[in-house]
A and B are shown apart, each in its own frame.
Chain A
């Protein structure tokens, strides 16, 4: 494979800060047994990419723990494999994230030593199942400098996107806007682009030397507007879930319960890999009632659950009623507890008889390890 993968594990963390106290964005649990990073990482592996660098800056212990020796993704390779790329200590570690070019500068050595002509840059906050090979093929055929993956916006009333494009029939991008709303027929970026390694490394050196750090705004959009960078659009027609704030996290987590969403995301020919924890199969008690749920292994369900997503090792005790909830690893919902529209982070304990109700538009969030 003539492409190296780079994953940004931090972007857009601010609006999800309730989950990123002691983990970074890429390590946020999603879809039962997964973390957000599993999706782009598995896509890369399933596309034959076996050189992957993950850029991390803050709170990445949880991510390291998850990736461990990279073997679940088959990236424990002699040649290539997966490398976590934290910043160099000399590079103003305590400063806030100044931009992707700043992060990429920490990976400059890695990129310069890579042997592939192309680089795939991917954000971890987008959940989708995609083969990058046709995208690379389209990139090479188009002759463009950069190819950006995007989904077509059908509903104009939707919230804004980090990047919005218009494109001609050939796929050539004709307009490039950042952080704005989209009209029907526009395309929304999915945090994924292909660029030649040569062009990327020279841009990193040139821009960071001048104190300019924003990849999309200062390099791509700026050069595009000056007519010096040609952009090609690659339309992705599959399921694409963006996780930028609590609302999106809540709604998109529950969305995978529907077969139309969960089916294409978890397809047999391109599996999503994740860390193995050797949990037992999930036990369903004699009096439980389960409807419309996605449930990982190691759970014990004895209460009534409806429209929920449970990570590994969740316990729902007798008499509990849980509706529209996302419950992360190892949390316990005690007897006769009633939960509705609640997100419970890992290892929390909801003691017997408690009653918590949020709104579908504003779920209650229980912090990691909390006792309620």
Chain B
């Protein structure tokens, strides 16, 4: 028998509902929500894995997995169709004893210990499929090894007010973690956890088993596993990350994340040929812009047809903007049609919607600044807004 093994594999938590995205995650898991014209949120974590040299990714799904399963397929778009390794979708399953849903993030990994063991890895990278960022996990792994760490948590420095909403690490001068607090009222540091961890598998494995046996545990990494390791004085370090990192878990932040891509100095730089973001591609033709159309300060994906006006907007694959229709500050998800004379301002429109003729969605801002709006209007996937109807700012349909 050939004992093949991997040095490092990734486990990607993609089972979250993302309830603060309301209608956009009613029948789709948050990682499958479209982002940035042609991507889905999970593409960023998956592409980071591949670009960091990690070729084995277990994707843990639970909430509304259909679209995500379909999207991942055999992993080919991310070069994750491998003979040994590759992308594996891991839903909860029934067993002879103790079958259960994934009760928490730790339980999701616990239930897939057999999957991880199959690759016999020294390290496991734990990720969430919820964030937009580019990060070299390999560098973080090197840091983990250099420090002799057993658990390394990536941190980004945030402002005091943001820190009260996040998991905050206190560290010593050597970046060793001395304290961890979830959503502290009075944060002791500005190092916020990014939800990116490197564990030494042998150590994590023990903690997962112990945690599962503890009936009082919520089986959550942030609430149980990390505090338990800290209490036992395990070698834990914070890995400082600098760069763009955005949680697009709310409607406002999802809209803002899209608008950030229009910044000429786009801090994320999705254009970097050395760190491509991969996505599943559909056979759409090139975008056609007809005479009389206006397109300015916008990102437009493939397969769109534009006859109207599109300004400060992100148009996803296969959208149509008809004559006299006007889209300003719009995030228009795939295959949506904006019919003649419709007016869309500062809105997120879901996939495969139809905005009928002369309908109005959202409101124009009062002042000069195109990005200072009165609130985002949101239309869920596969909805039709009737001819002449009005959807106000901040309304969610």
Contacts and interface: CB of A to CB of B under 8 A. Distances in A.
B349 interface: no
B297 interface: yes
A292 B289 contact: yes
B315 to A, nearest CB: 8
B297 A285 contact: yes
A293 B299 CA distance: 15
B284 interface: yes
B296 A281 contact: no
B76 A71 contact: yes
B290 A288 contact: no
A273 B285 CA distance: 9
A344 to B, nearest CB: 16
Interface stretch (B54-62, B136-144, B273-281, B356-364): B273-281
Contacts of B264: 285
Contacts of B281: 276, 278
B283 A290 contact: no
Contact of A297 (B276, B289, B301, B310): B301
Contacts of A257: 288
Interface string A327-346: 00000000000000000000
Contacts of A286: 296-297
Interface string B300-315: 1110000000100011
A278 B284 contact: no
Task: Choose among A42, A265, A291 the residue with the greatest number of B CB atoms under 10 Å from its CB.
Answer: A291
A287 B290 contact: no
Given A71-B76, A297-B301, A280 B293 contact: no
B250 interface: no
B275 to A, nearest CB: 11
B290 A297 contact: no
Nearest to B285: A266
Q: Which of A273, A276, A281, A288 has the most CB of B within 10 A?
A: A281
B285 to A, nearest CB: 4
A32 B295 contact: no
Contact of A281 (B36, B278, B292): B36
Nearest to B301: A281
Nearest to B271: A280
A276 B290 contact: no
B218 to A, nearest CB: 39
Given A273-B283, A276-B77, A291-B293, A281 B288 contact: no
B88 interface: no
Given A281-B302, A297-B38, A291 B296 contact: no
Interface string B16-58: 0000000000000000000011100000000000000000000
A73 B288 CA distance: 23
Contacts of B290: 259, 291-292
Contacts, number: 104
Contacts of A150: none
A262 B300 contact: no
User: Which label, helix, strand, loop or mixed, suits the secondary structure of the B interface?
Assistant: loop
Contact of A271 (B270, B284, B292): B284
Best-surrounded residue of A42, A257, A283 (most CB of chain B within 10 A) = A283
Most buried by A among B262, B285, B300, B314: B285
B285 A31 contact: yes
Interface in A3-35: 31-33
Contacts of A273: 283
A295 interface: yes
B64 interface: no
B286 A278 contact: no
Given A71-B76, A278-B278, A297-B38, A284 B296 contact: yes
A46 to B, nearest CB: 10
B287 A295 contact: yes
B189 interface: no
A164 B42 CA distance: 54
B298 interface: yes
Contact of B283 (A274, A289, A293): A274
27 contacts: A266-B285, A271-B282, A271-B283, A272-B285, A276-B77, A278-B279, A278-B281, A280-B38, A280-B277, A281-B299, A281-B300, A281-B302, A281-B314, A284-B297, A285-B264, A285-B297, A288-B295, A288-B296, A289-B294, A290-B293, A291-B292, A294-B288, A295-B287, A295-B289, A297-B286, A297-B287, A309-B286
Identify the 6 closest CB pairs spanning chains A and B, nearest first: A32-B286, A281-B37, A266-B285, A271-B283, A281-B301, A286-B297
Given A265-B285, A295-B286, 20 more contacts: A31-B285, A262-B285, A262-B288, A271-B283, A272-B283, A278-B277, A278-B279, A280-B271, A281-B301, A281-B302, A282-B299, A284-B300, A285-B264, A285-B296, A286-B296, A290-B294, A291-B291, A294-B287, A296-B286, A297-B38
